């Protein structure tokens, strides 16, 4: 039996964190069947105690095929339309 992970996610400690702007936790989440990357930061020790304990950022995981469509070489895109029409 396969586990249904819809509307669930998980995060782990970010072992590759190199600066304060990098998330302290990273993971993934499935929302309504769409996969997202999750980044999370904890509140700073000197922050207001009423500040959120965690803040999150979500980024949709892109299909590799979609990435290739958006990474078209600008020169080849111009060449594709290089015809003799003067406008």
Q: Where are the domains of the chain?
A: 8-80
* CA distance linking residue 73 with residue 67, whole number of Å: 12
Residue 63 reports pLDDT greater than 70: no
Tell me the per-residue pLDDT of 1-50, one tens digit each, with 9 for 90 and over. 788 889 999 999 999 999 989 999 999 999 999 999 999 999 999 999 99
Kindly provide the residue ranges of all beta strands, DSSP E only, lying in the chain, ordered along the sequence.
8-13, 25-31, 34-42, 54-60
Q: What is the dihedral of CA 18, 22, 23, 24, to 10 degrees?
A: 30
The whole-model pTM stands at 0.64
- Name the nearest CA neighbour of 41 among 30, 26, 60, 29: 26
């Amino acid at each position: 039996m396969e586990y249904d992970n819809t509307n669930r996610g998980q995060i782990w400690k970010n072992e590759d964190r190199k600066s304060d702007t990098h998330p302290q936790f990273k993971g993934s989440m499935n929302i309504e069947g769409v996969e997202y990357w999750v980044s999370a930061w904890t509140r700073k020790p000197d922050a207001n105690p009423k500040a959120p304990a965690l803040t999150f950022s979500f980024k949709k995981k892109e299909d590799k095929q979609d990435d290739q469509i958006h990474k078209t070489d600008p020169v080849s895109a111009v060449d594709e339309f290089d015809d003799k029409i003067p406008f």
